[in-house]
């Protein structure tokens, strides 16, 4: 424990443990210890135990790339209809393109749903059937209005590249409950976010915590299928390679890159058997397939349906953090600077049924209470038009929602102004979202720190507070 009391040092690095146990009985004991996933986790950074009782075991992040419009999805603003086509009556901040037009009413109608009476647009008829599970946050804010910086901020807590992703932090803090799968998995539906793969990076954390990219089709990963089907023979080969790797590491004490490479190689070997099993969904019932939309006419729906089903299978297997990216649709990501109606319609059509299927399936299997599901993008969109039929980026007030994992379902939190432009009640920053997520996982965000660059680094930097009002 550092003298400031805010960060933990690893009890022992892999290298140090190997060095101490290189001879005698220690070498025998080490093999057994390394086979124990709880002990192995200690060697790559996971906490000896959570800081407090966890409400959630895993996180599924439904990343809506591009920024869905809050006033067209979960935050109805009737005054927009009354002012449609008229000059915007509030002061406008500079936007990404600064091509700002008049007030633009939502093309979609809103209705109340569920016992809670939450308002949802007709863009999400399937998700609307699950509103009693949702904690809808209408007062999210961001510090950035450009995709790349906003994506880094959403994913890592800093608007620049180089920091660990929130998935990497979750993996670092708690590890994976499955030694044959990574702690942090990204299911790539086809659209890599602006900012690229660094949104899923490990940053200054060990490389074992970077996001592992899995495609929702085929084998999921390149070269994952074993070349030699004889598992016993492959395990003997692997044991020889492991012994050579350990000798190499001992001879070059102090090289963390070597240790990470060894750990990743060992995980890759185990994934040759676990990933094909993960991807094989033949055992799923026809009812489950229909629930998610695997038989949908629209191909992007089928793609995202498979992502959502695989996400359930991953958390079922103990993976700590799963992020889903959007499939490509006609109209691109949720970034409609023009033709809002076509773009948002197609994106919602792709994700709506699979999301509802995921929530219902998690609930039916008893997994929702221990799985925190988060939905949202890097910012929202303006209530006034860009051009005539689009919306520009809006970081000042937008909507995200959470479900399961200890949050209160059927709840709407926070408020934007009467036009949906700025958060005016209970504004939440991205750092607050991160702090709350970690808390639900049993982690105190102020105590999960790593010494880097001369100071204690954390996901929330020096910011963030836990929003306990959202808890069930």
pTM for the model stands at 0.86
DSSP state letters, 82-115: HHTTSPP-SPPPP-SS--EEEE---SS-EEEETT
Q: What is the pLDDT along the chain (472 residues), one digit of tens a residue?
A: 333 444 444 444 444 444 444 444 333 333 333 334 333 443 456 788 899 999 999 999 999 999 999 999 999 999 999 999 999 999 999 988 888 999 999 999 999 999 999 999 999 999 999 999 999 999 999 999 999 999 999 999 999 999 999 999 999 999 889 888 999 999 999 999 999 999 999 999 998 899 999 999 887 765 556 656 666 666 666 566 666 666 666 666 655 666 656 665 566 656 666 778 888 899 999 999 999 999 999 999 999 999 999 999 999 999 999 999 999 998 789 999 999 999 999 999 999 999 999 999 999 999 999 999 999 999 999 999 999 999 999 999 999 999 999 999 999 999 999 999 999 999 999 999 999 999 999 999 999 999 999 999 999 999 999 999 999 9
Contacts of 223 by beta carbon, 8 Å cutoff, 6+ apart: none
- 119, burial (CB in 10 Å: exposed 0-12, middle 13-18, buried 19+): middle
Contacts of 435 by beta carbon, 8 Å cutoff, 6+ apart: 445, 460, 464, 465, 466, 467
Domain boundaries, the chain: 54-470
Instruction: Please provide the CATH number assigned to the domain covering 54-470.
Output: 3.40.720.10
d(CA 37, CA 33): 8
Pure H helices in 317-429: 340-364
């Amino acid at each position: 424990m550092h003298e400031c009391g805010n960060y933990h040092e690893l009890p022992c690095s892999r290298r140090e443990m190997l060095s101490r146990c290189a001879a005698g009985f220690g070498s025998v004991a080490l093999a057994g210890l390394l086979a124990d996933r709880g002990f192995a986790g200690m060697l790559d950074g996971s906490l000896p135990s959570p800081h407090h009782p966890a409400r959630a075991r895993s996180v599924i992040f439904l990343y809506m790339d591009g920024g869905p419009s809050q006033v067209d999805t979960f935050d109805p603003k009737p005054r927009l209809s009354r002012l449609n086509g008229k000059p915007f009556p509030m002061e406008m901040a500079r936007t990404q393109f600064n091509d700002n037009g008049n007030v633009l009413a939502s093309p979609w109608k809103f209705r109340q749903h569920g016992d809670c009476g939450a308002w949802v647009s007709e863009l999400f008829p399937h998700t609307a059937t699950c509103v009693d599970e949702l904690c809808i946050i209408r007062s999210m804010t961001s510090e950035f209005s450009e995709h790349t910086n906003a994506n880094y901020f959403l994913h890592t807590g800093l608007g620049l590249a180089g920091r660990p992703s929130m998935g990497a932090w979750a993996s670092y803090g708690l590890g994976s409950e499955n030694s044959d799968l990574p702690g942090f998995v990204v299911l790539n539906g086809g659209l890599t976010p602006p900012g690229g793969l660094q949104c899923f990076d490990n940053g200054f954390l060990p490389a074992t915590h970077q996001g592992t990219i899995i495609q929702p089709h085929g084998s999921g990963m390149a070269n994952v299928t074993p070349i030699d089907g004889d598992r016993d023979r492959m395990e003997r080969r692997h044991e020889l390679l492991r012994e050579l790797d350990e000798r190499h590491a001992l001879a070059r004490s102090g090289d963390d890159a070597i240790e990470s490479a060894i750990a990743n190689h060992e995980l890759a070997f185990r994934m040759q058997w676990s990933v094909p099993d993960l991807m094989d969904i033949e055992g799923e019932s026809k009812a489950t397939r229909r629930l998610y939309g695997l038989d949908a006419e629209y191909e992007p729906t089928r793609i995202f349906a498979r992502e959502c089903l695989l996400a359930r299978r991953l958390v079922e297997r103990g993976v700590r953090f799963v992020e889903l990216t959007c499939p490509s649709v006609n109209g691109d990501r949720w970034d409609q600077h023009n033709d809002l109606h076509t773009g948002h319609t197609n994106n919602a059509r792709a994700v709506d049924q699979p999301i509802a299927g995921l929530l219902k399936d998690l609930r039916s299997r008893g997994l929702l209470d221990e799985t925190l599901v988060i939905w949202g993008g890097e910012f929202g969109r303006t209530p006034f038009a860009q051009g005539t039929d689009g919306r520009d980026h809006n970081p000042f007030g937008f909507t995200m929602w959470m479900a399961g994992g200890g949050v209160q379902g059927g709840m709407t939190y926070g408020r934007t102004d009467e036009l949906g432009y700025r958060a005016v009640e209970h504004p939440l920053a991205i750092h607050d979202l991160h702090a709350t997520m970690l808390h639900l996982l049993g982690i105190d965000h102020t105590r999960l720190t790593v010494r880097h660059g001369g100071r204690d680094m954390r996901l929330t930097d020096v910011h963030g507070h836990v929003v306990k009002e959202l808890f069930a």
